[in-house]
Amino acid sequence: MNIKSVSALTGLPAKTIRYYEDIGLIRPRREENGYRVFSDTDVHKLAFLARARSLGFAVEDCRSLLALYDDKNRASGDVKSIAQHHLKEIDRKLKELTTMRQTLSELVRSCAGDNRPNCPILSDLAGHGALRSGGTEGA
Amino acid sequence: MNIKSVSALTGLPAKTIRYYEDIGLIRPRREENGYRVFSDTDVHKLAFLARARSLGFAVEDCRSLLALYDDKNRASGDVKSIAQHHLKEIDRKLKELTTMRQTLSELVRSCAGDNRPNCPILSDLAGHGALRSGGTEGA
DNA sequence: CATAAGGGTTCCGGTAACTGGAAGGTCAAG
DNA sequence: CTTGACCTTCCAGTTACCGGAACCCTTATG
C-alpha cells in the first residue's frame, strides 16, 4: 500500500503521515525504489492516531497511547490517567473560551457597527488597563 | 520608564514587550545607552494589546485594532467586523471542544482505570477507523 | 579599584503540529 | 520520448512567544 492510498483510507494527509514517520510513530517498510510500503498494522496505527488526534490528544500523548495499545499487559488506569488529564485541559480551555465569548459578545452587541467612530469595543480595550501611575514622561 | 516597570504595569513579560516592538506594534524611544524608554502612549498601547490578547484576538488582529483605535475617523463597523469574525472562531472552537469533551468524558467514565488491560478508551481509538479494504500485505 | 548585584541589550534556538513548495527520482501509458 | 501521476527529501514558514547565552550599564561596597 502506498502513501496515497493510506492517506485516502485514514483521512490523514500524506504530509502528516510522513511527519508521523519522521517523529517515529510508525516505521513503514521501503521498496527498492525508496517508496514507503504500509502494512495493515501501519494503517491501523495511523487510523488510531487520526482518531486520537481528532479527540484532541497531543501527539506525544498519542505516542503513549499507542505504546499502551501495543502493550497487552498495560493497566487501563494508565490510559485513563492520560485521558483524564486531557479532559482537564479541555475543560480549562472551555472555561477560558466561554469567558472570552461572554465578554466579546457583549461588546459586539453594544457596538453600533456603522460609519461613526464611536466604538465600545475599542473603549473597552483601551480602558481596561487601569494604569496606576508611573508615567513620568509624555509621548 | 524602563521595560521592567512597564512589564509590572501592564502585566506583560519583558520578553513579550520586546517582541511587540520587533513586530512593529510599538516604537519606544531609546536612551543613549540603548535602553528602551516607554512613553505613556507606549504603555497605553501595551495595555490595549494585553487586553485584546486576553480576549483571544490574534496579534495581527491586535495590530488592526490598534490602528483603528488611533484613527479618529474610523468606522465602528470595521472594529465590529473584526470582533465578530473572532467571535465566530471562538464559537467554532467551543463547538469542537464540546464535542471532544462529550466523547472523551464518556470514554473516561466507561474505563475501569485499574490494573487490568481491558480498556474501552483504547478500543475506541483502535476501532473507529473502519478501514474499508486495501490491505494486500501483512505486517 | 575590583567586583558583585541588578538592571538593560541582542541574537539564537526551541516550542506544536504540521503545511507548502522546490528539486528531482520512478513508473506506466501513448 | 515525453507526459502525468506518483513518489522522495529537504528547507522554510506558521503563531506567539520563552529560555538562555553573551555581553553592556550603573551603582554600591569593601
Tens digit of each residue's pLDDT (9 = 90 or more) over B6-63 = 999 999 999 999 999 999 999 999 999 999 999 999 999 999 999 999 999 999 999 9
User: What are the cell numbers at A14?
Assistant: 500524506
Q: Is the pLDDT of residue B129 over 70?
A: no
Residue B85 contacts residue B49 (beta carbons within 8 Å): no
- Output the tens digit of pLDDT for each of chain A's 139 residues: 999 999 999 999 999 999 999 999 999 999 999 999 999 999 999 999 999 999 999 999 999 999 999 999 999 999 999 999 999 999 999 999 999 999 999 999 999 999 999 999 999 999 865 665 544 443 3
pLDDT of residue B136: 42
For chain B, positions 11-40, list CB contacts with chain A under 8 A.
37, 39-40
CATH 1.10.1660.10 fits A1-55, yes or no: yes
CB atoms within 10 A of CB B38: 26
Q: CA A39, CA B85: separation in Å to the nearest integer?
A: 44
CA distance B88 to chain A (A): 9
Question: Residue B130's pLDDT band (boundaries 50, 70, 90)?
Answer: low
Residue A53 contacts residue A62 (beta carbons within 8 Å): yes
A1–B134 C-beta distance less than 8 A: yes
pLDDT of residue B51: 97
Name the protein residue, with chain letter, whose CA is nearest the C1' of C26. A33
pLDDT per position as a tens digit, B74-104: 999 999 999 999 999 999 999 999 999 999 9
User: Which architecture does CATH list for B1-57?
Assistant: Orthogonal Bundle (1.10)
Rg (CA), chain A: 25
* Residue A124 DSSP label: H
Of B39, B101, B115, the CB nearest to A77: B115
A117–B44 C-beta distance less than 8 A: no
